[in-house]
Structure 1
Amino acid sequence: MNEFVAAIIFIIIFIIFNNLNTKIRKLEKEISDLNDKINTPPLAQTEAIHKKATTEETFIPQQEESHQVYHEKIKNSEESEKGPTSLQKDWLTPVSDFLKQNILTIIGIFTLVLGIGYFVKYAIDKNWIGEAARAGIGFCTGAGIIITGHFLRKNYPAFSSIITGGGIAVLYFTATIAFREYHLFTQNTAFIITALITAASIILSYYYKSEVLIIFSLIGGFAAPLMISSGQSNYLFLFIYITLLNTGMLAASFLQHWKSVGWTAYIFTTGYLLLWTNESPELLSITFYLISYVIFYIFALHDYFRKNILATSDILILALANFSSILGLLYIFDTLKYEPQIIFPLIFAAVNTVLLFREYTRKSFGITYSVFAGLVTSLITVAIAIQFKTHLITSIWAIETTLLLFIWKKTGHKIFKIFFYILFPFVMIAQLITWTAYFGTKDFNIIFNAPFITSSFTIISIIINLYLLRNTAKEPQGKDRNFFEDLITVVSYGVIYITFLLEITYQISEMPWSAITSTGLLFSIYYIFVLLLFRKLLSLRNDVQNILIYLFYFLIVINTSVSTLSLVADILTKKLHVSFYFFHLFQWIPFLYIGYRIIPSSTFHKQWISYWIQSLAIIISVSCELHHSYILMTSSDLSHSYTASAHFNILYLPVIWTILASLFIYTGLKKNIQEYNKIGFALIGVMVLKLYGYDVWQMDNISRISAFIVLGVILLLSSFTFQRLKNMIRNMVDKKDKTEESKD
């Protein structure tokens, strides 16, 4: 009953489709006739137009010609100003247009193949056909679809290519199922059948001149070994087949100039090679790496030798072919412990040097010269990195990011920058893995160790990247682009910081924790100091400078308060020498320089809170530094330090705060900055509350008398100084007013 209903539905659909097809043909004929009428003007109108054109040519031929030349010059100049970027602007447009126009066809052929598959499965479940008949139905169906595409190729070329590709897919899947599920023939026979399908599909692609069809054919050809695989790794046989397939690809791309064909072959070939390298690295695979390198280099340089140009896709495949080949070859040498490992980067560098020298002798220093120069420099850098025993993937990826960014700057093709954005996160992941080598290893030399040398190459790459990205602010760019570049910049500076911090902490890891913490904080302080010192060279924005200054003061406070206190305790318990404390005092060099030279020339003081943060950092740092120095001078061990600390806090700290408050008020009056006045009086208020609310009850009589006398004298002297300063300012204002009046 179900079969009868299905047959009726199929007949109804066929009748409806046939009627629609007839109506569409009639409509096409009517539209064609209407276009002929519109495009064919009456005889009188044609003669009038011809006469008018003749008259115009008779009277103003010279003027018309001059206008035409003028407009052509303007057009040519505009095109030259747009540069290569405008020519390569919408590189995804052909793909997008193809999908928009043919998406229904693609979905339709896919649905048809599935429908046939489900029908065959249904027939199998009903025991209508045997295994051999099933395979025969599959081959006949695939052939029928290909024949249908053949008859449609003249009027509907794109539709025909997709239909034919679907038929080829049916043939591939039929051969696979017949071998793997039904065991109708041996693996060798199955391979011969799939190879014949691939050869026939490539011949059809060339005959139809269909780029879409040959891509279908290549995908099927590269997938065929997986389809008929029996689980045994016969890589020699596999790569002989892939080499022959790539040779056919190369011939087809030369004859028809199909770039997508080469890219399809490159992606599959590289995948197979890396799979082989990872599963069973052996010397035999080196031969096929080199053969594939030559094939894809010839493919990429086809237009270069014919027309002396390098398209965007050619440049990209040159870069990827070099670095993917080096990655696999060096991995094989490293795994098998062969030397010298730098031979392959140097060989590839020599190949590109020949091309670079060719451009140099022709005095051509354009995009092509820059590409080959970038490749040669990158490959030599990789060779140096490998010679220093760096981590392979990290170094190669880092150098490749710089190459991509360099080519983008030289050509203006955005595709290289997009690939840079894609590869950069992988470099960061590889760098994180590189840093893990520090943990669990205790015999690394200072600086000359694999993690640090690898990180050094990453840092060099990052510095070049930052230099190349620095000028992009001059270009029109959106918020997303700004975000990515800012993120890359922040991450890059973070990588540089973490690299040196890990190396320093690793080399002093045997010291007490207080020494490690203090050294790490001191390095952090100097790192920010260097960034601020070279802020103009690094093109740091004002908001970034302000954030760095806030962070700098925060680290200063942490280092002088918490970290140095632990340092003093370890010095008193003889875990550290007292000289380590003097090493810690080097933090005051950047502290004073930033306060006196960098902040006055920055926008840091545009907000009132910045004055308070800077003043708070000064108060805490000075107070803690004098406190720690006093303890070291007066205490012989840790138990005596508690008494000395309490004595300092009660007797000397109010005096220090009073002096600092006086300095703040003096500075505020002198520079007419109200915030400093507020800070000074606030500090005096805190000091008075501390003195009268707590300290006075903890002192003996002599200390109490001494504290009050000293504080009283300081306050009186400060008050007298302020009065003098006020008088001086008033006198200066009066003199200025009198001078202006006398001039009037």
Structure 2
Amino acid sequence: MSDNKDKINQLFEIQEKLHKKQEALSNEISELRHELIRLKSAEAKPLADKEETQILNENLLDDLKNIASPATQEKPKIETAKTIVTPPATNQPPKSKSDLEKFIGENLINKIGIAITIIGVAIGAKYSIDNDLISPLTRIILAYLTGIGLLGFGIKLKAKYENYSAVLVSGAIAILYFITYMAYSLYDLFPQAFAFILMLIFTVFTVVAAINYNKQVIAHIGLVGAYAVPFLLSDGSGKVAVLFTYMTIINIGILFIAFRKYWKALHYSSFVLTWLIFYSWFLGKYETSEHFVLGSSFLTVFFAIFYLLFLAYKLVRKEKFNKGNSLLLVSNSLIFFGLGYSILSLHETGQHLLGLFTLINAVVHSIVSVIIYKQKLDDKNVFYLISGLVLTFITIAFPIQLDGNWVTLLWVSEAALLFWIGRTKKVSIYEAMSYPLMTLAFCSILQDWTTMYNTYLVADPETKITLFLNVNFLSSLLFIISFGFINRLNSNIKYPTLLGSWLKVTKLLSYAIPVILVFTLYYSIRLEIGNYWNQLIKESALSIQATGEEYASYYNNYDLKEFKTIWIINYSLLFFSVLSFVNIRKLKNKNLAYAGIGLTTITLVVFLTQGLYSLSELRESYLTQSLSEYYHRGTFNIIIRYISLAFAAIALTSIFLHVKEEFNAKRYRIAFEYLLSTSILWIFSSELLNWMDISGSTQSYKLGLSILWGSYSLLLIAYGIWKNKKHLRIGAIGLFALTLVKLFFYDISQLSTIAKTIAFVLLGILLLIISFLYNKYKSNMTEEEI
């Protein structure tokens, strides 16, 4: 059945092409007939009528065969060459004109001529009006006579000059439309009913003429040209109604021709001009108090006309689905919705009906989709397209009628459903529609996070959000599940995308979907942790008025801010480490491995800088016991350091496993070893300062750091010699050089004599040991292992 429908559509296309060729051939035949008549009259010894007729018929038959079957045109010429009677050489027809010359002389000039003629008539009419040369009635009568005369002249020339005649007839019709409108709108010479009857007659005549001539030019110049009239809008609502009724009449004529003759260009022109005129009126002349019912009514009429024509093409003509008419349907629906939404939003009562209006749009499209489904068309894309519009308007209705998390949940659920249908049922348009919904859902959840988690900070304590047991986190969890489902389906090779023409877009989205999934999973938990500590910080606020002071001071437990920072960093280290472990054992995705290493490294750097600083602030708070009469300063301020160090160790392990499993190349191993050795030195230095601060030995921390760095350099060099790692040895030498610079230019000025002696002796011994190791194992350092 599907093959038969495809063949029928192909035959329709072939029929249209042959029809155009037939029209061109008819023009050539007419020209050839006239040329032969001219040659006959100039012939000194004219051929007999019978012989002339035979020559004409045989030549025309040859042309028809060449047009109908160009691939086989050589063979008939060979077979019939002997039977063709050729006129004498002295009577050969003149050389044919070039295609460009033919186009200009026979098509372009006459169209420009009729346009200039109409402009000239308009200029003359304007001059006579401005100078009161003739009365309004006389002007209208003369204009009608001009249009009717031009029309009659064009009809008379149809037999011999059909193309030229068509241009004159279309121009005459445009003049008659224009004059009728002027007679009614400007001069009130016609009653409303009579003006409509005249325009209806012109429309019917134009339909008949266009079909009779079989030329789009009549419909375009005659009817579409008449669209210039509504731009002369009047301020009165009654006359606006006349204009839109007039446009409706024109549309009906245009679309009847477009459907009957399958002239899609006429359909597109009517669509663009109709909505352009309506939108121009809405921007410049629309008044809610006067035009609400009028605007709503004609908006619905125009929408219905173009919608019904689309359905007629699909249901009656069985037209195949294509991008052009699908874009027209979607544009018509969105323009109707956008203008209708604007009209309602400006109305006092209508602004409360916006959600209902959106749902009505969905209902209309759903009814049409049911009708199309019952027709059992072989081309299911039409059904999918209109069903997609139903889902689109339901989607738009969510943020209009609902707010907050419900919008996000409905959008992401709909995106998952459309993506599933698009991939598993092989409906590419549904997959394409799911991508904007994913974007909307992601933007919506970002907005939810921004607004909902800040509510408690500006509201009463009754709005406190329970950790993980709140609607915000649950909606984030459902969002994660939906995107997890989409990502799993997207990576399944059993369901490839059908959007081949969108290869770059789908490839980009194949990266964007997992990125959104991971980001949402990470950030939803991070927000819960941050919000938990923010609530504790707010609850810790105190107003304390010291003795003898006039005003009270406000305090918060600032330890909680440091705990918040530490726990967010700890969570981040754990999250990206677990992500790396899962990827190593299960997913084995190289792109995710790159992302895991990068994100873990960044978080580790944040821990070494901001994290260790916050830990030092907690230690300082514990040691000083500031505001301890109001806030607890316990040993957990110290213990939290080692919990964080455990998370850092897990992060380094995850990076090491990734490098070992996925990136076991020399440059990656060298980069990891630099990261590891730098992290260890940084942590050891922080730990040294920590215990020196606890023990009260802060005065000698400079000396301690210098000795630590020198000792660490020695260990790195020893390890580099043992494992033959040149990069570690070079790094250790650089660290030792930095230690010496620190000793001479920073430490020495503030060290006591004993401290200086200890520092120099120890560093000197370390240098001697390093030199000894280099000399003893120099034979093992020729090349670095790979």
The normalised TM-score by structure 2 is 0.55
Q: 1:348 aligns with which of 342, 347, 365?
A: 365
The alpha-carbon distance between structure 1 residues 374 and 454, as it changes in their structure 2 partners (threshold 3 A), is farther
Which letter maps to 2:310?
F
* 3-state SS of paired residue (1:230): coil
Conserved? CA contact 2:230–2:243, under 8 Å: yes
Q: Which residue in 1 is equivalent to 2:49?
A: none
Give the distance between the partners of 2:717 and 2:242, measured in 1 at CA. Answer: 84
Counterpart contact for 1:142–1:167, Cα < 8 Å = yes
AA at the equivalent of 2:307:
F
- 1:139-168 superposed Cα distances (whole Å, 9 cap, x missing partner): 555555555654566677666656555545
Q: Deviations over 1:362-418 (max 9, x none)?
A: 9x6xxx33553465467447636745736999979x979x89x969x9799xxx99x
Choose the corresponding residue for 2:313, options 287, 295, 302.
302
Instruction: Give the Å deviation of 1:254.
Output: 3.7
Matched, 1:383 2:394: yes
Residue 259 of structure 1 aligns with an amino acid whose one-letter code is K
Deviations 1:597-629, CA, capped at 9 Å, x for gaps: 1586359977xxx88876666566555556666
Among 646, 651, 666, which residue is 2:704 paired with? 651
Which of 276-285 and 191-200 deviates more? 276-285
Change in 2 beyond 3 A, CA 1:299/1:563: same
Residue 259 of structure 1 corresponds to: 264
Q: Does 1:694 align with 2:711?
A: no
- Return the match for 2:214 from 190, 209, 218: 209
1:561 to 609, 612, 618: 609
Matches within 5 A, 1:178-197: 197=202
- Shift of residue 695, structure 1, vs aligned partner: 3.3
- C-alpha spacing 1:516/1:720, structure 2 compared with 1 (3 Å): same
Q: Deviation of residue 684 (structure 1)?
A: 3.8
Match of 2:353 in 1: 336
How far, CA to CA, are the matches of 2:249 and 2:680 in structure 1? Answer: 77
Q: What is the SS of the residue equivalent to 2:237?
A: coil
Task: State whether residues 501 and 520 of structure 1, in contact with CA within 8 Å, keep that contact through their aligned partners in structure 2.
Answer: no
Would you say the 8 A contact 2:144–2:179 is kept in 1?
Answer: yes
Cα deviations by residue, 1:488-535 (Å, 9 ceiling, x for unpaired)? 788888888998899889885868998689959987997899699879
Q: Does the residue aligned with 1:372 lie in a helix, a strand or coil? A: helix
Task: Give the equivalent residue in structure 1 for 2:35.
Answer: 29
Q: Could you tell me how far apart the structure 2 residues matched to 1:174 and 1:450 are?
A: 68
490-499 or 683-692: which moved more?
Answer: 490-499
More displaced 10-residue stretch of structure 1: 280-289 or 196-205: 280-289
Given the superposition, is the C-alpha separation of residues 718 and 454 from structure 1 closer, same or farther in structure 2, using an over 3 Å criterion? same
Question: AA paired with 1:601?
Answer: E
The residue aligned with 1:62 is none
Q: Deviations along 1:208-261, whole A, 9 cap, x unmatched?
A: 333344345554566654534425389887777666665555543442223344
After superposition, what is the alpha-carbon deviation per residue over 1:58-89, rounded to whole angstroms, capped at 9, x for unaligned? xxxxxxxxxxxxxxxxxxxxxxxxxxxxxxxx
Q: Distance in 2 between matches of 1:599 and 1:171?
A: 85
Q: C-alpha separation between the residues in 2 aligned to 1:434 and 1:218?
A: 50
Distance 1:617 1:171, change over 3 A: farther
CA RMSD of aligned residues (A): 7.2
Correspondence for 2:324: 313
User: How has the CA–CA distance of structure 1 residues 695 and 312 changed in structure 2, closer, same or farther, with 3 Å as cutoff?
Assistant: same
**Offset at residue 652 of structure 1 (A):** 3.3
Q: Cα 1:112–1:50, aligned 2, differ >3 Å: closer, same or farther?
A: closer
Partner Cα distance (1:146, 1:235) in 2: 29
* Residues 343 and 731 of structure 1, relative CA distance in 2, 3 Å threshold: closer
- Sort the Cα spacing of 1:249 and 1:118 in 2 relative to 1 into closer, same or farther, 3 A: closer
Amino acid at match of 1:257: Y
When residues 555 and 284 of structure 1 are mapped into structure 2, their CA distance, relative to the original with a 3 A threshold, is same
| 1:223 to 1:729, Cα distance in 2 relative to 1, 3 A | same
Letter in 1 for 2:213: Y
Bigger mean CA offset, 386-395 vs 257-266? 386-395
Q: Which residue identity is paired with 1:682?
A: G
Preserved contact between residue 143 and residue 167 of structure 1 (Cα < 8 Å): yes
Structure 2 counterpart of 1:593: 654
Q: Deviations over 1:578-604 (max 9, x none)?
A: 699868986775564345315863599
CA distance in 2, matches of 1:27, 1:177: 45
Distance of 2:779 and 2:579 partners within structure 1:
42
Cα distance between partner residues in 2 of 1:102 and 1:521:
78
For 1:150 and 1:540, the matched residues in 2 are separated by 75
Equivalence for 1:369: 380
**Aligned position for 2:19:** none
For 2:474 and 2:606, the matched residues in 1 are separated by 33
Aligned partner letter, 2:609: S
Corresponding residue for residue 682 of structure 1: 734
Instruction: Name the CA shift for 1:339/1:123 in 2 (closer, same or farther; >3 Å).
Output: closer
CA 459–690 in structure 1, closer or farther in 2 if over 3 Å, else same: same
- 1:454 and 1:291 map into 2 onto residues whose CA distance is 42
Secondary structure, in 3 states, of the residue corresponding to 1:310? Answer: coil
CA contact (8 A) 1:497 1:527 kept: no
Question: Structure 2 counterpart of 1:352, which letter?
Answer: S
Residues of 2 paired with 1:594 and 1:176: CA distance?
Answer: 80
- CA contact under 8 A between 2:593 and 2:658: conserved in structure 1? no
Give the unaligned 5+ runs of structure 1.
1-24, 54-96, 734-744
Query: Cα–Cα, structure 1 residues 329 and 595, in superposed 2: closer, same or farther, change >3 Å?
Result: farther
Deviation at 1:296, TM superposition (A): 1.7
Give me the whole-angstrom Cα distance separating, in 2, the residues matched to 1:309 and 1:108.
39
Percentage of identical aligned residues: 17
**Could you say if the C-alpha distance between residues 730 and 184 of structure 1 is closer, same or farther in structure 2, counting changes exceeding 3 Å?**
same
Query: Is the Cα–Cα contact under 8 Å of residues 262 and 299 in structure 1 kept in the other structure?
Result: no
Check 1:32–1:682 CA distance in 2 against 1; reply closer, same or farther (3 A cut): farther
Cα distance in 1 for residues equivalent to 2:105 and 2:709 = 77
Q: What does 1:605-684 align with in structure 2 at a 5 Å threshold?
A: 651-652=704-705, 655=708, 659=712, 663=716, 666=719, 670=723, 675=727, 678-684=730-736
Q: Which amino acid aligns with 2:705?
A: Y
Cα gap change, 1:186 to 1:377, in 2 (>3 Å): closer
Distance 2:601 2:374 in 1: 54
CA deviation map 1:151-186 (0-9, x unaligned): 566677666656555545445555566666666667
Look up the SS of the partner of 2:321 in the other structure: coil
Cα offset for 1:287? 10
Q: 1:723 to 1:317 in 2, by over 3 A?
A: farther
Q: Hey, what's the Cα distance between the residues in 2 that align with 1:406 and 1:100?
A: 53
Which residues of 2 match residues 356-505 of structure 1 at below 5 A?
356=373, 359=376, 368-369=379-380, 372-373=383-384, 376=387, 379-380=390-391, 383=394, 386-387=397-398, 389=402, 442-443=454-455, 448=472
Residues 342-363 of structure 1: CA deviation (Å, up to 9, x unaligned): 565366346435645765xx9x
CA contact (8 A) 2:166 2:215 kept: yes
Matched, 1:232 2:249: no
Distance 1:664 1:239, change over 3 A: farther
Correspondences of 1:42-121 after superposition (within 5 Å)? 50=79, 109-121=114-126
Cα distance in 2, alignment partners of residues 540 and 101 from structure 1: 67
Q: Is the 8 A contact 1:390 1:451 kept in 2?
A: no
Which protein is bigger by CA-based radius of gyration?
2
